[in-house]
Amino acid sequence: MNTSTHPEDLLQTGTRTSLLRRFRKTWPFHLMLLPAVILALLFHYLPMFGVVIAFQEFKPYLGITGSEWVGFKHFKALFERTDSLQVIWNTLLIASLKIGFMILVPVAFALLLNEIRKMVFKRIVQTLVYLPHFLSWVILSAILVDLLSPEGGLVNRVLQDWFGLPPVFFLGDGEWFRFTVVTSEVWKEFGFSTIIYLASLSGINPDLYEAAEVDGASRWKQTVHITLPGLVPIMTVCATLSLSSILSAGFDQIYNLYNPLVYDKGDIIDTYVYRVGILNQKLSFATAMGLFKSIVSCILILSVYRLALKMANYRIF
């Protein structure tokens, strides 16, 4: 009888032994992750079974198993209804404006803040612009409604008393509503986003500035030829990764600020799904809309990570 051991068997035995040895060292970490894994399974993966109602004429009293299957009926309606097409357009427009300004404004502010030499003043400014990020839209929306009111709001009082302009209905006019949404989002988040660009600025080689100064380059030329090129990689990464959220224009903000007067200009996919699905009880159509958004977002996420890897050598793993 041949009792020799095959090399592949030895390799597999060694691999199993190595895995067991590693697991004995790391099992406490796996145990710590277990609650999070269970919660993710219960609240993220198990409910995904409910997407089948997008292909049904769902009736709550009949349940998923008893409701009639209608195939892609609701998906066809998604692209035939004028209100749903308008919602998709609103989402793309508002999200695109937010992405664009949330790159330009933090970069400009980081460049200005980087020029401040008094550290005490610099830290005070940083703290002040970071604070809005930590406030919820429930609080900020109440503040904005009061400030932007056409009847006695501070902003309209300034426009009337100082400039002689008529009052503007910022939250009741569609075009002004979009402007208000984008502006308030930038005001709330640009300070926190500035952290990324300040960190990138600190990573630029100071020898480059010293060499440019010796050559007689002004501060403006140093910014154009050294600072901005140094920020291009992180700007590319942020812009690329932001594309994955092009169909998410901010449910919390829109929901707390909008009203029926601006549905045609300010309604986005998330608020539309909530209103149609929860309030109007058109659960199948709302689920189809949400599933459409999820599929497109998943494709965008995979694409932009691939693009970020190719353009800026960015990867998570």
188 lies in the same domain as 63: no
32 lies in the same domain as 89: no
- Reported as a single tens digit per residue, the pLDDT across 256-306 is 888 888 888 888 888 888 888 888 888 888 888 888 888 888 888 788 777
How many structural domains does the chain have? 2
Where does a domain end: 26, 41, 69?
A: 69
| Cα(193)–Cα(185) distance, integer angstroms | 12
- Reported as a single tens digit per residue, the pLDDT across 229-249 is 888 888 877 877 777 777 777
121 lies in the same domain as 185: yes
Which residues in 124-151 are b (16+ Cβ under 10 Å) and which e?
Answer: eebeebbebeeeebeebbeebeeebbbe
Residue 38: pLDDT band by 50, 70, 90 thresholds? very high
153 lies in the same domain as 232: yes
Is the confidence at residue 149, as pLDDT, over 50?
A: yes
172 lies in the same domain as 146: yes
Residue 123 lies in a domain: yes
| Cα(110)–Cα(107) distance, integer angstroms | 5
172 lies in the same domain as 93: yes
Where does a domain end: 24, 53, 69?
A: 69
Q: Which residues contact 304 (CB under 8 A, 6 or more apart)?
A: 240, 241, 243, 244
Amino acid at 289: M
Where does a domain end: 52, 69, 86?
A: 69
193 lies in the same domain as 243: yes
Radius of gyration for the alpha carbons in the chain, expressed in angstroms and rounded: 27
60 lies in the same domain as 191: no
Domain extent, residue 45, equals 7-69
| Cα(231)–Cα(199) distance, integer angstroms | 10
Torsion of CA 45, 46, 47, 53, to 10 degrees: 110
pTM above 0.85, yes or no: no
Residue 83 lies in a domain: yes
How confident is the model over 24-28, as a mean pLDDT?
81
Residue 209 lies in a domain: yes
Residue 317 lies in a domain: no
The answer to whether the CB of 238 falls within 8 A of the CB of 308 is no
Is the confidence at residue 218, as pLDDT, over 60?
A: yes
Residue 197 lies in a domain: yes
57 lies in the same domain as 137: no
| Nearest partner of 75 among 296, 301, 304, judged by Cα | 296
Is the confidence at residue 145, as pLDDT, over 70?
A: yes
- Side-chain-side CA neighbours of residue 232 (13 Å): 9
Residue 2 lies in a domain: no
57: three-class secondary structure by DSSP: strand
| Cα(289)–Cα(300) distance, integer angstroms | 17
201 lies in the same domain as 248: yes
Q: What is the CATH number of the domain that holds 104?
A: 1.10.3720.10
143 lies in the same domain as 269: yes
- Angle at which helix 137-147 crosses helix 154-163, to 10 degrees, equals 30
